[in-house]
Amino acid sequence: MSKSVISISNANIYQGSNLILQDVNFKIDKGEFVYLVGKTGSGKTSLLKTLYGELSLREGQANVADFEIKGMTWKDVPFLRRNIGIVFQDFHLLSDRNVYENLRFVLRATGWKEKHLIDEKINDALEKVGLKNKGFKMPHEMSGGEQQRVDIARALLNSPKLILADEPTGNLDPETSNGIMQLLLSISKDMGTTVLMATHDYVVINRYPSRILKTENGKVLDSDVVLANG
Ligand SMILES: Nc1ncnc2c1ncn2[C@@H]1O[C@H](COP(=O)(O)OP(=O)(O)OP(=O)(O)O)[C@@H](O)[C@H]1O
């Protein structure tokens, strides 16, 4: 079996009838940390949505966390999502419940029932993001950086092979962004989780250099391929 966590080939990415990205080909291995950059509207979110099953893949092939994306139906999506953590720019926390209940909601929705296992997973995820014992807090009682950590804890709950992050530092000040970057980098390095992160933030990229995929003129360019070709 391949060690790629994402393998996409000859893929065309659509929004409705509009072709957004053409002939997309790349592989990302276990534990790799990869940036996804490109101008506004160039297709970063569309590509991520295709990888997490929000947009269907009509042409080409993609294997994501051992799931064949092509031909997947809506009922297959929850099974894919159990192997993927998704982190958003604007956190997507439920504002009417505390951190613990936000995390429990995800575990129950992904099939967990036993209270002691649920508690164990929540405590473990909160500890990983530096928010141990903060389960009682309401989202509005937390800073943007803390809410982003809760969002990352939520993404980690099911021990995913892959984290897809869509501009996770987009709403944060530079110092808080650094903390979030160090957390995401340690998730890939220490836990062996693959991270693909869309960003506009070149300060972050320059500070923490890594492989870059770039959406440009309907194509995805790969810094690894550019380097390999000199
Ligand atoms: N729901 C939608 N229906 C139709 N077209 C869409 C939809 N969402 C995005 N698009 C179009 O698809 C193209 C790519 O958008 P996408 O959001 O993937 O770009 P992006 O690179 O993520 O942009 P940004 O950096 O602003 O988030 C744009 O032309 C956009 O207008």
| Residue 46 Cα: closest atom of ligand 1 | 18
Q: Which domain holds residue 171?
A: 4-228
CA distances, 216 to each of 1, 38, 213 (Å): 32, 6, 10
Query: Ligand 1: which of 13, 17, 45, 202 to mutate, most ligand atoms within 8 Å of CB?
Result: 45
pLDDT band at 68 (very low <50, low <70, confident <90, very high): very high
Residue 230 confidence (pLDDT) above 60: no
* CATH at residue 153: 3.40.50.300
53 lines ligand 1 (CB under 6 A): no
Q: Count CA atoms within 13 Å of residue 134 on its CB side.
A: 21
Rounded to the nearest whole angstrom, what is the distance from the C-alpha of residue 45 to the centroid of ligand 1? 7
Phi and psi angles of residue 210, each rounded to the nearest 5 degrees, phi first: -160, 180
The alpha carbon of 35 and the centre of ligand 1 are apart by a number of angstroms equal to 18
Number of separate domains in the chain: 1
Residue nearest to atom 28 of ligand 1 (CA): 41
- Please report the pLDDT score of residue 226 as a whole number: 66
* β-strands 84-87, 67-68 pairing: unpaired
pLDDT at residue 9 tops 60: yes
DSSP bridge pairs for 59: 12
111, pLDDT greater than 60: yes
Mean pLDDT score, 111-124: 94
Per DSSP bridges, beta strands 33-38 and 194-198 are parallel
Residue 10: per-residue pLDDT: 97
**Beta strand spans in the chain (E):** 4-15, 18-29, 33-38, 59-64, 67-68, 84-87, 162-166, 194-198, 211-216, 219-222
CA of 47 to the centre of ligand 1 (A): 10
Query: 192 in ligand 1 pocket by Cβ < 6 Å?
Result: no
Within 10 A of 108 (CB to CB), how many other CB atoms are there?
11
Arithmetic mean of pLDDT, 132-154: 94
Q: Return the residue whose CA atom lies nearest to atom 16 of ligand 1.
A: 43
CA distance 137 to 149: 13
Measured between alpha carbons, how far is 174 from 70 in angstroms, rounded to an integer? 39
C-alpha of residue 203 to centroid of ligand 1, in Å: 24
Taking CA atoms only, the protein residue closest to ligand 1 atom 6 is 15
Q: What is the mean pLDDT of residues 208-225?
A: 94
Per-residue model confidence (pLDDT) at position 229: 65
The finding on whether 17 has its CB within 6 A of some atom of ligand 1 is no
Q: What are the tokens at 192?
A: 């062996």
Report whether pLDDT(79) > 90: no
In the reported structure, the alpha carbon of residue 219 is separated from the centroid of ligand 1 by a whole-number distance in angstroms of 14
User: Tell me, what's the ipTM?
Assistant: 0.95
Burial (0-12, 13-18, 19+ Cβ within 10 Å), 112: middle
- On the question of pLDDT at 71 being above 80, the answer is yes
Q: Is the pTM of this model over 0.90?
A: yes
Mean pLDDT score across all residues of the chain: 93
